[in-house]
Structure 1
Amino acid sequence: MRIVAIVLVLTLMGIVLWNVVGAVTLRDADDSYIGRASEGSLASKRINAGGIALVREWIETKTRPSFDPIKILIYQVWYNAITRGYDLKMWIEPEEYSGSLEQYAIYQFENFVVLRIEYSRRNRVLVTSFTAAELEEALQPFVVKDQF
């Protein structure tokens, strides 16, 4: 029984370490990136480079990695199994595709964000100091008007 407890504790510690190690950054997201929201009040709208700069700033300064191993597991499973029902879902990618640049997805539910970093195979569960509604409101001036 003691071995099981030790393995469980080490597993939970590993989950937390995997989630918290490294800076939270949208490293490649620059003026060449655009955003596409598919859930929330911005659904079906494109966000210009100014909005991407805002998203990058908020993710890098107003979030922190979750230290709760149970929530990390729940949100990783939820994100991998459920594709609908988020408060906000947004893809951030280069306007002109480049295989060398990272793409990002933000899945926000309440005060948690799953930050997907393509193609690094690493998703981060973050705790936010903002709601999806607050981020969507801040992004309104950056919505691309002439959409196809």
Structure 2
Amino acid sequence: MKAPGSSFVRTAAVAISLASMVPAVARADDAPSPCAALKRIVAAAPGGFAQLSPGDGQGVAQPYGDDAQCGTAHAGYQCVWTPHGDAGSSASALQAVAADIAACLPDATHDVNSPARQHFYVGARDARTQITATTAGANKLKLVVSGK
């Protein structure tokens, strides 16, 4: 005679075993948020960008491209990447990056909005951090953050 509930225990064990073999499913809302990367880069601007690594900026590009090359350059921090094919044109991808900047940095002033260039700044004129996103050639985007 079987013990009561033994078939339930066996079924549960099989279900758990099968569940552990199924790969995790990625969802659209699992994409990393660029906010943490943007805030870290902008926060570094007043003192220089020496404490940032090339990986610090990849979170900005990651929702839109996988090949970001980032690092310090000319008293600023710069990232260049190729937008994913599903992002549409470079101008469309640039608009999406600008929307992220505006959403992630609500204190930033957006003073240039064109199909090829987006410009924001944070802070007073004498201690201003500049944030510029541009198209770079036919299929690249470029983000530059610089500060005084």
Q: TM-score range by the shorter chain?
A: under 0.3
Structure 2 length-normalised TM:
0.26
Structure 1 length-normalised TM:
0.26
- Based on CA coordinates, which of the two structures has the bigger radius of gyration? 2
